[in-house]
Chains A and B, each alone.
Chain A
């Protein structure tokens, strides 16, 4: 019962992911207008959704649908690359701390505690200010801010894995620590990493949107969903569609990866990150 539900959840998530990927790949081609210049004739004020602007236009006369389609690429890209950075750092720290234990473990976990004590969003804001906003900055900063949860989960998993016989066997056959870690311990954490990857993709998309909302995301003219919501704050009373559609797009993308994560864990049990 729970298993069937989980499979449905996973299927729904994968289907939605396919839609997202399609939008990201084909978006700029099928977008009816240029997302960065005014498409509306003369009018320089937001127009409500009506043909030919099916999702309306913004205060500069730009087509919302076209901007959303162009934004899909950057949002998905930031989500996936920042997730890769997050998972790489987190897995590296977690594997090392859990496998070697002792002083290495204590040192790494105390560093993790320091990072956990930071107000993450403010740290990200400060780091973006240091490194100057760009797509690359966003990748790195989001990764630097959000690896701690991953490290904790992987560490606790490795703590039990390293006591298993196959590790002892590999060591007895003369394998070095690096080989044991990469060839024997790491593959056994793969199911957990898959769930973490899905969960942290939704996390990174949310964080990226938050940064954009605060005006520190990927800089213009690239249209991002978070920036579209931020720009809509001025007009939300007269032009609510300007915030409605990008918000729904973010909700769709984040929900996609949450569904995949919950589907992968079978029965809706997710590791706390």
Chain B
């Protein structure tokens, strides 16, 4: 009996490891696909990177030299091969415009974006969970109705417009917070709120639906019969089960959050990766485009693997595939 148990535990650990390795292998393949597609798209852009590098006043000979130096005269597939070989060694090349190593650029820009994204996500989760708890406890009442309309309106608001409104009123008219740029915590408040509110409203809708469904289950009725109060019932007993699907959504949504990050960084002049990537796309800075897309895709893919694992840890009902 005891031996059987331990063997089972050993088996499940083995399957977990195999599962994790499988997921990571897929993650690697996905990244390979992402990089290939990006490379292909970038080379389809009408425009000549060599001309961009050489500068607007370069003559034809200089441009030709630059093209040869950068290997731009070789077939795209060959260039992609070179890129991958350097990538394995951790070399992402140099920016065409500033000549700085891309890894250096990414390392300098990543903290600002990571701070903004984490703060935005924190706002979203607080708003989402808080809003859902309140509206689920008061389901059917007028507060629930108003919150429903409010969350739909927030969901429907363009993030950059919300940012401009916040800048105009909070920063410009009322002079409560700085007008943009990065710095202390005061610079972070508005961008984080703007980035997180819409996503938070989405989480609140989702969690609300789950909560209301869970609140109708037998174990909740049993707890209520035992005399558990409404607050404890919703916030402890129901939330635990209702929040499970939300974990997946948060993971899947990370790529969508990056869209918001690009726009928020633009509005608030936040010196992050989003702006770096956007400027690189417009300026045909191929190594920087590749670097930012790969970094962003890596973060998204790894988060999804992590979310999958967390989900399976939190909910014992889900068996490993």
Contact = CB atoms under 8 A, between A and B. Distances in A.
A242 to B, nearest CB: 10
Contacts of A139: none
B42 A126 contact: yes
| Interface SS of B by simple majority | helix
B41 A126 contact: yes
A214 B33 contact: no
B153 A251 contact: yes
Interface string A119-141: 11111011101101000000000
Given A130-B41, A272-B249, A120 B256 contact: yes
Given A5-B145, A122-B293, A247-B165, A117 B300 contact: yes
Interface in B25-46: 26, 29-31, 33-34, 37-38, 41-42, 44-46
B203 to A, nearest CB: 11
B164 A233 contact: yes
Interface stretch (B53-61, B97-105, B259-267, B313-321): B259-267
A96 to B, nearest CB: 19
B45 A129 contact: yes
A122 B266 contact: no
Nearest to B206: A272
Interface in B11-36: 26, 29-31, 33-34
Given A117-B30, A119-B262, A119-B293, A229 B281 contact: no
Contacts of A204: none
Nearest to A229: B161
B172 A229 contact: no
Interface size class of A (residues with CB under 8 A): 35 or more
Interface string A1-17: 11001000000000000
B148 A214 contact: no
Given A122-B278, A268-B209, A247 B152 contact: no
Contacts of A243: 161, 164-165, 168
B262 A117 contact: no
B153 A130 contact: no
Interface string B280-295: 0110000001001100
B277 A258 contact: no
Interface string A62-93: 00000000000000000000000000000000
A130 B45 contact: yes
A172 interface: no
Interface in B134-177: 140, 145, 148, 152-153, 155-161, 164-165, 167-168, 172
A240 interface: yes
Nearest to B252: A116
Contacts of A206: 156, 158
Q: Give the dominant DSSP class at A's interface.
A: helix
Nearest to B292: A122
Contacts of A268: 148, 205, 208-209
A213 B37 contact: no
B160 A229 contact: yes
A186 interface: no
A117 B205 contact: no
A260 to B, nearest CB: 11
B263 A236 contact: no
Contact of A229 (B45, B156, B158): B158
A121 B262 contact: yes
Interface string A143-182: 0000000000000000000000000000000000000000
Nearest to B179: A237
A1 B30 CA distance: 46
Contact of A213 (B158, B167, B297): B158
A270 interface: yes
A255 B148 CA distance: 12
A119 B277 contact: yes
Contact of B44 (A111, A130, A258, A270): A130
Contacts of A122: 258, 262, 277-278, 281, 292-293, 296
Interface of B: 26, 29-31, 33-34, 37-38, 41-42, 44-46, 140, 145, 148, 152-153, 155-161, 164-165, 167-168, 172, 205-206, 208-209, 245, 249, 252, 255-256, 258-259, 262-263, 266-267, 277-278, 281-282, 289, 292-293, 296-297, 300-301
Given A111-B33, A251-B156, 5 more contacts: A5-B145, A117-B297, A119-B300, A126-B289, A255-B156
27 contacts: A110-B26, A110-B30, A114-B30, A117-B30, A119-B258, A119-B262, A120-B255, A120-B258, A122-B281, A122-B293, A122-B296, A126-B45, A126-B289, A210-B259, A213-B158, A213-B160, A214-B266, A226-B158, A236-B167, A237-B172, A243-B164, A247-B164, A254-B156, A258-B156, A269-B209, A270-B205, A272-B245
